[in-house]
Structure 1
Amino acid sequence: MSWQAYVDDQLLSTGQISKAAILGKQGGIWAASKGYNLSQGEQNAITNTLFKKPDEARASGITLAGFKFMCIKAEPEEVIGRKGERGVFVVPTTQAVIVGEYEAPTQAGDANVVVTKLADYLKSVGY
């Protein structure tokens, strides 16, 4: 399965995730939903700041495709952002980072299940 298929079939097709990306921990976007353009600075923040400097992430928030979320949780296994009716889960795997945004009426818990399920699977196969 291609990385794009993971984004399309495992995240977006659930109807719980509105925008998604899979980034390599060493850099680069492996796959992303159509029109979801993460700048190089945003990518660097995801791979270098969110999990390595959680206090900085909590203080500065999470900016994705130009939209800034308030960081409500920053821990090694998961970063969560929220602003208004939108939210995001950023979950690392062994070699990648999964980013999944959701919008109302999707509930945070439903979106979280989708993102963490894919993350758990990728970890189980070494990614």
Structure 2
Amino acid sequence: MSWQPYIDDQLLAKGFMHAAIVSHAGSLWAASEDFFIHPSEVNVLVAALVPPSDDAALKHLATRGFTLNETGRYALTRADVSDEELVPMLIGRCKTVGEPSTGVVVCATHSALVVGIYDGAYSEGASFGGVTTEMHQLASFIMEQGF
């Protein structure tokens, strides 16, 4: 199964600047051009999101942030990881001085992370609600497919 159309036709088309689907082990399933998530970055996110998630890992993200694409450092602004009815999700904002304001949404499925970076100005008709809803819907679909 090719996951690239979901990146191109769903996430990028709905307002994300960059997006990727990566396995919990760090292998890339699909990504937008020039976007890479290093396996060490995946490990940090998996430890905080994937049950049984590690409270210490989540606290570390809350206090120190996390990187993606080996560049921008994101501050955690919200985490929904304990409610079994929801797809585990992290939301953050770029806190790198001198970098343009961007946001990130990370959802965990049974075997993958779905990651999207969006323009904080919500250009091209995107909205915070729209990007988070799109990400949640894609992650839910991936889980329904057994991934």
TM-score bracket for the superposition, by shorter chain length: 0.7 to 0.9
Match of 2:75 in 1: 70
Range with greater deviation from structure 2 (5-14 or 90-99) = 5-14
Q: Who wins on radius of gyration, i.e. which is larger?
A: 2
What does residue 97 of structure 1 align with? 113
Structure 2: where are the runs of 5+ without partners?
82-87, 95-99
Gaps of 5+ in 1: none
CA contact (8 A) 2:20 2:29 kept: yes
Tell whether 2:79 aligns with 1:80.
Answer: no
- Measured after TM superposition, the shift of residue 41 of structure 1 is 2.2
Q: Which residue of 2 aligns with 1:43?
A: 42
- Identity between Structure 1 and Structure 2 (%): 33
Matched, 1:107 2:118: no
Q: Normalising by the residue count of structure 2, what TM-score does the alignment of the two structures yield?
A: 0.77
1:60-107 Cα offsets, whole Å, 9 max, x none, are 112111101111123321101013631111001111110011102232
For 2:106 and 2:66, the matched residues in 1 are separated by: 10
Q: CA deviation at 1:37?
A: 2.0
When residues 125 and 39 of structure 1 are mapped into structure 2, their CA distance, relative to the original with a 3 A threshold, is: closer
Task: State the partner residue of 2:145.
Answer: 125
What is the RMSD computed on CA atoms of the aligned residues?
Answer: 1.7
- TM (normalized to structure 1)? 0.88
